[in-house]
Amino acid sequence: MKRIRSIGAALSAGALVLSGLVLGAGPAWATHVDCGDVITQSVTLDSNLTNCKEGLHVMGDDITIDLNGYTISGRNHPGDMQYGIHLMDVTGVTVTSSRPGGTVTGFDAGVVIDDGSGNTVSSLIVRDNTNDLLGEPVCEAGDGILVQNSDDNVINANTVVHNGPYSGIALVGDSDGNTVSNNLVDDNNVPNAKLGSGKTGPCGAPFSRPIQDIGIRIEGPGADNNIVQGNTVTDSAIAGISIHGYVCNPPPGSGIEAGDPNTGNQILDNTVSGTGSATFPEDTLADGIAVFTQGPAAVVCTSYGNTISGNTVFGNLRDGINLNRGTHDNVVEYNLVYDNGRDGLRLSAGFTANTGVVYPGAYDNTLTGNEGDGNGTNAFFANPKYDGADYNPNCNNNDWSANSFVTYNQSCVVAP
């Protein structure tokens, strides 16, 4: 799942000069801009920008880009890398639409914040931004709204629909203290396959999953203390909301560096449903909220120290909330999980590899005040299935207390 991100790769200094008018400092008014323009002052669009080979390149601090109800649309072709609105090492920028309907569509990624801080993306429609998957050695995009190596940004009240093959909204690299709130994130379930070939394409390499699109993705490595709150996430592919693992033990000679863990993230008061509804049976990894490992156990470690609280998670193909093996010191509290296909709230077991190395299951987590009923609805998954399940012997030092589950696999899961 290699994702190479580089301002230089996306846009050279020469291209900036030639691509369009460089707008200087000044007040905001209805302004005519063209595809490919470099923006250094506040602007309010006065028309649609259509069939753009390049979107807008934002290089001024403390300015506002107001779509004013208009649309910026791309002409996505194989082999290029197109961002609809690209914030490039800036702070204090607001990208919004003061009138309904402001849309970014048809690019490899819709809105991208690169190496900046304190920016806001709000009240936009970001839809159908999909990496074309052809003619590219790596996949640098494939998200609706992408924050990479950027801190303290706010992604609020957007409608994010059918982007991929990575995510609707993604926090990538060392992205800390960001807030993703009150967004409608729907139908982000684009297959990760080379078009027309039926095979996995360059956005995931041959060993990756054929479908890995996620509604809201905390990918990292080193994505800490982010808040994902009050979002409605529906019909994603392999997770509605995910916190990913990180490379902790790179193979010798691989050239891969060990990454920092993703810790201290908060998943609060979201509603997550329908994960996997459009992608089953092609892929069965489809959880509502997941702390994922996704990689070889000897190489990839799981995120830890996160809080998952107050969420309503229902009707997802596999688990409602899933803590993968090796994750620890998470707090999972006051969530409602019901009518999910496998387990409502699941803590994965450890295992012993054929080399004799023992990999622990989920451990030292605190799970309290959660409620579940009616889970285990999908006959694809073998019985038994439970509203609350800890697959580690004697709950592996996980502290379950005051939970209310109709079905459970160990008495410690509903301990007082």
Answer whether residue 228 is part of any domain: yes
DSSP lists the bridge partners of residue 261 as: none
* Helix, strand or coil, per DSSP, at residue 15: helix
- Cα(256)–Cα(258) distance, integer angstroms: 7
Query: Is the Cα torsion angle 410, 413, 415, 416 positive or negative in sign?
Result: negative
Answer whether residue 286 is part of any domain: yes
- Cα(384)–Cα(388) distance, integer angstroms: 11
DSSP lists the bridge partners of residue 65 as: 43, 95
Token code pair at residue 257: 């560096």
Q: Return the percentage of the chain with pLDDT > 90, whole number.
A: 71
Number of domains in the chain: 1
Q: Which domain holds residue 385?
A: 130-414
pTM of the model: 0.91
Answer whether residue 108 is part of any domain: no
Closest of 201, 224, 226, 223 to residue 211, by C-alpha? 201
Least confident piece of the model among 24-33, 47-56, 225-234: 24-33
Residue 200 pLDDT level (bands cut at 50, 70, 90) = low
Answer whether residue 77 is part of any domain: no
Answer whether residue 87 is part of any domain: no
Tell me the pLDDT tens digit for each residue of 274-321. 999 999 988 899 999 999 987 788 888 999 999 999 999 999 999 999
Tell me the pLDDT tens digit for each residue of 376-387. 999 999 999 999
Tell me the pLDDT tens digit for each residue of 211-244. 889 999 999 999 999 999 999 999 999 999 999 9
